[in-house]
Amino acid sequence: MFEFLRELREVEQDFENSLLFLLSKYYRYNDMMLAAFVKPVKDKKGIETHPMPRVFTMNIDTHVLKMYSAYYRRTDIFHPDNLPKRLQGRDVLTIRDVMPLDKFRDSDHREILNQGGMEYQMTLYFYADGDCIAQLGIFHTAEQGDFSRKEVRIFETLVPMIAQEYRSRRILQHARQRQSFLQNTYDRLPIGVVLLDAKMGFIRANDLALEYCEDISQKVYPSGGLISAEESLDPEVRAVRRVVLYVGSNIALDKADGQDVVVRVGEDTEYLCKLDSFIFYSDIAEIESVNVLYIIRYKLRTKDEKKLITDKYDLTKRELEVIDLIEKGCSNKEIASRLFISSHTVKTHIMNIFKKTEVTSRTALMHKLKGTHEE
């Protein structure tokens, strides 16, 4: 037991497969399946869904695994959701604990076991903070016989210690995956990105977001006065927090265009702040709801540049407004919403713009107008 725990504590990566290997090495179990559960997720309507667990196996036939995965939640007598109350919270269970063997022989669960040449099962449950984070099934053939009381007692001692190790590895791995995910995405984007938790609390921001938020904060909060909750915050974080509050309040008060808030700073700079949300999933069976504030900075045309384009292509004021939104990547629907006109009218304006500038696409239009500025 002590050697098993010593090796388990030295495991740094791939904890699940390493656990199966060590159980085989020290206890001679050859047929095992570990299901690492994913926390339920609620959608915007509050409806809870249960994602399929991540499964790790040793000597389990692929056909049997597919069959089990298709029906496991409904038919698995060992699944935590299917256990009677008297057995919930137990660390180790065998078939005899769940039902009499004569009843088990007529069950769907036995049929699935027999498909893999198995007859008996012992299941270990790993708990963390009151939740079952994983279930490990160990299987015996008819020739090997049922699991002994001695085996059950051994694992009643081991399981809490395995669960503690498993929980610490999950936390560490989740932090590593999250950090890697952020570094490989948001930190390298050419726009400002602020990552927020489900309650809009600050997690982190890339360098561009810190720069943009400082600029926006000075515009929307020119007095610079601090409220008590901000006094202990780093100045950069304080600026981010103020921008998040400003954007959130504008959306809540329906002053924004959908989830977008536009902030004009000076004569030639405009920021588009877009609030979005998504689900972050990591390989350790953790699901996290995350909010993201995207901040894009646009350099606006000067009066002279506007006059040059208008005169050269005989553009109307409305057509120039449409061009500005096209340059910001807005769709026809978004342009219609921003200018309070119909999508049909937007299409008409765009066709007129294409005709006047002698282009046939948005990309060609951008290149042509850029060339006009450089003349």
- The reply to whether 369 and 238 lie within a common domain is no
- The reply to whether 296 and 352 lie within a common domain is no
- The reply to whether 197 and 211 lie within a common domain is yes
Single residue among 245, 274, 300 that ends a domain in this structure: 300
In a domain, 178, yes or no: no
pTM: 0.56
- The reply to whether 238 and 165 lie within a common domain is no
From CA 31, how far away is CA 309, in angstroms rounded? 74
How confident is residue 182, by pLDDT bands cut at 50, 70 and 90? Answer: low
Backbone angles phi, psi at 276, to 5 degrees: -140, 170
Q: What is the mean pLDDT of the chain?
A: 84
- The reply to whether 165 and 192 lie within a common domain is no
Single residue among 173, 197, 221 that ends a domain in this structure: 173
- The reply to whether 106 and 46 lie within a common domain is yes
From 22-36, 141-155, 271-285, the region with the lowest mean pLDDT: 271-285
Angle subtended by helix axes 343-357 and 332-339, to nearest 10: 110
Side-chain-side CA neighbours of residue 333 (13 Å): 1
pLDDT digits (tens, 9 = 90+) for 357-370: 999 999 999 888 87
pLDDT digits (tens, 9 = 90+) for 302-331: 888 888 999 999 999 999 999 988 988 889
How confident is residue 285, by pLDDT bands cut at 50, 70 and 90? Answer: very low
- The reply to whether 161 and 60 lie within a common domain is yes
Alpha helices in 285-331 (DSSP H): 303-313, 317-327
Inter-residue contact 235 to 222 (CB < 8 Å): no
Q: Domain span at residue 316?
A: 301-375
Among 273, 275, 271, 274, which residue's Cα sits nearest to residue 300?
Answer: 271
Overall average pLDDT of the 246-264 stretch: 72
From CA 41, how far away is CA 27, in angstroms rounded? 37
Single residue among 173, 200, 228 that ends a domain in this structure: 173
- The reply to whether 222 and 248 lie within a common domain is yes
In a domain, 180, yes or no: no
How confident is residue 141, by pLDDT bands cut at 50, 70 and 90? Answer: very high
Q: CB-based burial of residue 150 (10 Å sphere; 0-12 exposed, 13-18 middle, 19+ buried)?
A: exposed
- The reply to whether 140 and 197 lie within a common domain is no
Whether 217 has a pLDDT exceeding 80, the answer reads yes
- The reply to whether 269 and 350 lie within a common domain is no
- The reply to whether 314 and 280 lie within a common domain is no
Report which of residues 253 and 363 the model is more confident about.
363
